[in-house]
Structure 1
C-alpha cells in the first residue's frame, strides 16, 4: 500500500539539497539496505556523537538525495505510509543539518525531565514542525511528512527568513508534549491495522486506513475495558474479534466467560487462550 496522492509538485529539488531521514530503529540493517539502494549515497548517522555511540547501529540516517526518481527516494515513497522517514530540504550542508537535528535527539519534558525523540518518525516530526516554534527549523527550509492514516502529505515551512537559534536542551511545550504522547498509541493502531490486513484481510471493512480507523479505535477501547493494556494483548483481542467475524462474544459463552469471569489467571494469559479458541471456532466453521 502507498499513499493515495503524489508528493507536492513544487518541492525545491533543483534549488536546494534534499535529504531523506530514515529511522534505523524501525528499518533493520539500515546501513546495508542503503548500500544496496544507493551504493554511493552520502549518509550521516545522527547517533555518531558521544552521547549515542552505543546505539549507532540503530541510528537515524540522514541521506542526501538529488531527484525524486532515484532508487532511495522511490524506496522511501513506496513505504512512506509506514511513517519511518521524513523528507527534508535545506540550503545548508548535510553536516549543518545533522548538527541541528542532533540538538533534538534529547529534549526535556515541560517539567524538565530529559527524554529521547525519534526524529525520523513522521508523526513525531509532524507534531514538532507544525507546532509553530520557528526555532525548530534551523537550517531546514522545508519538512515533508507522510500521514499514513489520512493518506496524504503535509508540508511544513518556517515563517521567518532566519530562524532563531535552537536552545539546548530544547524544552517541549505542554501542547507539544500532549500531542507526542499520542504518537505511541497511534503507532500501535497503525501496526494493528497492518497485522489485521495481513492475517484477516477478508474481515477488514474499508479500503483505507482512514476508513478503518474508527474500528481500530473501537477495538482499543474494548480491550481497555477488559483490562488489556499491552500491545500483544490488544493484538490477541483483535484476533478474537476478527476470528469471530462480526459475531458478539455473548454468542460464544466459553470465550465470553474466559474474558469476563473473575479469575486468578492473568488476563494476558486468558486473552491468548481466547484467541486460540476463536481461531479454532473459525477453522471448524470453515470446514462445516
Structure 2
C-alpha cells in the first residue's frame, strides 16, 4: 500500500474546512517551504503566543487546505510516511482550531509535571485522539494520521455531537502517558531510519520503513543493553554496526573492548571512539 494514494475516501472535504498541522521542529525552514509551495496559504503558527515566543521559528503551522490537489497537501502526501504532519477537519475557521490546539501544547504528566507535546507528530496525535477523551477534540470533527510503519491511515472522530470543554492544564492519564512514551521511541527510530538512509543506503535491507522496522528495533535493543539510552548513543552505535557491515566484533578487539569491557570511561564517550575506529576500518577497505 502507498500512503500517497490510499487516503480515506470518506473525508468531509466539501462540508468542512481541512487543515494540515505541520511540525516545524522536524521540517527545516517550514515557513519558507510553505511560501514556495503555496504562496497564498493561510497559516497560523501555534507558538505565536506569549509562552512560546522564543520557539516561534520551529512552531507547528496550522495550514488551511481548500483543495486536495494543492501543492502543499500533495507534498504532505508524498512525505506522509515520515509522520511529521496531521490532517484535520473542522466546521470552525483557523483561529478557533488554533486556540483549541494551543491548550494542548503544554500538558501535565500524571504526577503533575508540565511537558511540551509535539502535536504535529502523527504518533502523538494518535496517542491523544485515540485515547477516547472527548474533550480533546473541541472544534475538530476528524483527525487523520498516517502510520508509516503499518502503512495505513487512521481516523479519529468524536463520539459526541458537542464535546465537553477542555480545561487547562490538561493532565495526561497513565495510559496516555505510556502511549506517548511509545510515540517518542517511535520518532527516534524513524529519525534513525532517515539517518541510515542518508549515510548508509547501500547497507539497508528492505524497500520501506516497515520492512526495516525489525532491524531498527534490534539496533535499539542492542544499544540499550550497552547502556546507550539516548538518541545520540543509538545513532553512534548504528554507525558502528553499519560500517562494520556484518563483520563480527570478535574481529575488532579494540571496538569490542570499548563496547563490552568494564571501564571508568562513560559508555557515551566510548561509543564515539568505537564509531571512529569503525570509520577508519571501513575507509581502509574503501567503504563509506
TM-score, normalised with respect to structure 1: 0.93
The CA deviation string for residues 201-233 of structure 1, in whole angstroms up to 9 with x for no partner, is 222122221221111111111111112223222
Q: Choose 274-283 or 20-29, whichever is displaced more.
A: 274-283
Q: Which residue of 2 aligns with 1:247?
A: 247
Q: Distance in 2 between matches of 1:52 and 1:199?
A: 34
- Gaps of at least 5 residues in structure 2 are none
Question: Which residue number in structure 2 is paired with residue 66 of structure 1?
Answer: 66
CA distance in 1, matches of 2:50, 2:228: 39
**In structure 1, the residue corresponding to 2:3 is in which secondary structure?**
coil
1:270 matched residue in structure 2: 270
Map Cα deviations across residues 7-40 of structure 1 (whole Å, 9 max, x no partner).
1122111111000111122222222221111111
Q: What does the per-residue CA deviation read over 1:174-195, in whole Å, with 9 as the maximum and x for residues that have no partner?
A: 1001111122221111111111
Q: Distance in 2 between matches of 1:72 and 1:271?
A: 40
User: Which SS does the other structure have where 2:87 is aligned?
Assistant: strand
Q: Distance in 2 between matches of 1:175 and 1:275?
A: 37
Structure 2 residue aligned with 1:236:
236
- Using the alignment, how far apart are the partners of 2:263 and 2:177 within structure 1? 38
- The answer for the alignment partner of 1:101 in structure 2 is 101
SS of equivalent residue, structure 2 residue 89: strand
Distance in 1 between residues matched to 2:28 and 2:285, nearest whole Å? 39
Deviation at 1:5, TM superposition (A): 4.7
* Aligned residue number for residue 116 of structure 1: 116
Distance, in Å, in 2 between the alignment partners of 1:173 and 1:66 is 36
Contact 1:5–1:152 (8 Å) recurs in 2:
no
Matched, 1:146 2:146: yes
Between the aligned partners of 1:236 and 1:167, the Cα distance in structure 2 is 42
Aligned to 1:29: 29
Aligned to 1:133: 133
Aligned length: 286
Residue 213 of structure 1 aligns with which residue? 213
C-alpha contact (below 8 Å) 1:150/1:209 kept by paired residues = no
Q: Secondary structure at the match of 2:119?
A: coil
Deviations 1:243-280 (A, max 9, x none): 22223212322221222222333322321222222233
Find the counterpart in structure 2 of residue 87 from structure 1.
Answer: 87
Q: Secondary structure at the match of 1:140?
A: coil
Q: Secondary structure at the match of 1:155?
A: strand
1:181 is matched with which residue?
A: 181
1:164-175 aligned at under 5 Å gives the runs 164-175=164-175
Q: Distance in 2 between matches of 1:112 and 1:275?
A: 40
Contact 2:143 2:157 in 1 (8 A): yes
Deviations 1:80-123 (A, max 9, x none): 22211111001111111111111111111112222211111111
Question: Under a length normalisation based on structure 2, what TM-score does the superposition of the two structures give?
Answer: 0.93
Q: CA deviation at 1:137?
A: 0.8
Give, in whole Å, the separation in 1 of the partners of 2:248 and 2:4. 34
